[in-house]
Amino acid sequence: MLIEAYKKALKLKPNLEYAHYNLGINYLAVDDRNSALEEFKALKDINAELANKLFNLIYK
């Protein structure tokens, strides 16, 4: 599953911005908005633009 792959990648490199973003997208795909929001929070200090893109998808 992609969620597990992104989690493993983030354990190795916690600042991988696209891993946080894609993990958030995958959480939304399985209707887990709370986990997607946690990825937004982690991402906003790494890449604010990408974080805002994820935020907009969470709350659309």
CATH of the domain at 38: 1.25.40.10
| Domain, as residue range, for 35 | 2-58
DSSP character at residue 13 = -
Kindly report, residue by residue over 15-31, the tens digit of the pLDDT: 999 999 999 999 999 99
Domain count, the chain: 1
What is the Cβ-side half-sphere exposure of residue 11, based on CA atoms within 13 angstroms? 6
Per-residue pLDDT of the chain (60 residues; tens, 9 = 90+): 899 999 999 999 999 999 999 999 999 999 999 999 999 999 999 999 999 999 999 998
For residues 56 and 15, what is the distance between their CA atoms, to the nearest angstrom? 21
pTM of the predicted model as reported, rounded to 2 decimal places = 0.94
